[in-house]
Amino acid sequence: MEKEPMQLSGYPIKFKVNLKSMKTRTLIWAWPTRVFHWMLAIGFAFAYILGDFDDYRQFHFAFGAMVGVLALMRIIYGFIGPGYSRFSNFPVGLKNQIAFAKSVFSKQTDYIGHNPVASLVLLGIMITGVFTAISGYLQYLNESQGEILFVGGYFVKEAHEIFANVFLGLVIFHLAGVLVDLFFHGKAGAFFSIFNGFKSVEAKPASIGTFLQFFGVIWIFAAIFIFYLAFNLSPLEKNDQNRDDEVKSEQNDDHDD
């Protein structure tokens, strides 16, 4: 007799790949989850790339703050969200991790929502995103107002860089996982589900009511609003190294003339 798939909070976490499941389309990711994913991806990419450019510091602040709010709201959503977006449906337990490690390259079974490793990575991204944004704001206070906080200005700067690089590492790990999943489990449609929300699985669909629809709107509005506020922070003076480089450049120009 075939065993029923393991369930968390009433939602199955695994399914057997077969012809019937391939012909079934089930909503797994509601629109707030998908919008969050792409806003977070765009926000982190721009924040990280622009971090070393003084002329684009306002955009760095804005995108970084947006990432922090997106991650914080996603944590809240993890407790109130639908189906597979809830933390209670993240298979993060040790048994699930071991089972996943044994079957990661198998094309016979797949996970409906997040697989065990992806669940851990997502949790890491959310937590790291919040701390990256907080440490970035503390660094801004140190540099703009000359306030040496109780943790010290140098420590805040180092912590911000560490959190940002950990975030980057998690993103790279996530992208690697996407490629593995696309190659071995592409028939389930996990790659395209982050665009349209649907997977080719036979499972209980995620449902989103009026309250969560409203929460999703607030989520997006809060991210855009904090982007606006951070972009309009008082600009910081260029650091000493960049000022020295500009002076040398001007001196070389004068010498050439």
pLDDT of residue 15: 46
Longest Cα separation, the chain: 88
CA-to-CA separations, 159 to 2, 137, 156, 176, in angstroms, rounded: 50, 12, 5, 26
Other C-beta atoms lying within 10 Å of the C-beta of residue 20: 9
Contact 230, 66 (CB under 8 A): yes
pLDDT of residue 147: 57
Mean pLDDT of the chain: 82
The answer, as to whether pTM is greater than 0.85, is: no
How many domains does the chain contain in total?
1
Tell me whether residue 47 is in a domain: yes
Tell me whether residue 1 is in a domain: no
Tell me whether residue 110 is in a domain: yes
Range of the domain at 156: 7-256
Tell me whether residue 103 is in a domain: yes
Using the structure block, give the residue that is written with the tokens 């609003």.
225
What distance in Å separates the CA atoms of residue 254 and residue 91, rounded to the nearest whole number?
Answer: 64
Is the pLDDT score of 251 beyond 90?
no
What distance in Å separates the CA atoms of residue 124 and residue 138, rounded to the nearest whole number?
Answer: 21
The CATH number that applies at residue 195 is 1.20.950.20
Tell me whether residue 2 is in a domain: no
What distance in Å separates the CA atoms of residue 86 and residue 100, rounded to the nearest whole number?
Answer: 20
pLDDT of residue 235: 82
pLDDT digits (tens, 9 = 90+) for 76-129: 999 999 989 999 999 899 998 898 888 777 665 678 889 899 999 999 999 999
pLDDT of residue 203: 81
pLDDT digits (tens, 9 = 90+) for 150-176: 455 678 889 999 999 999 999 999 999
Tell me whether residue 74 is in a domain: yes
Give the pLDDT mean for 202-218.
Answer: 91
Question: What would the two tokens of residue 4 be?
Answer: 């029923």
Tell me whether residue 187 is in a domain: yes
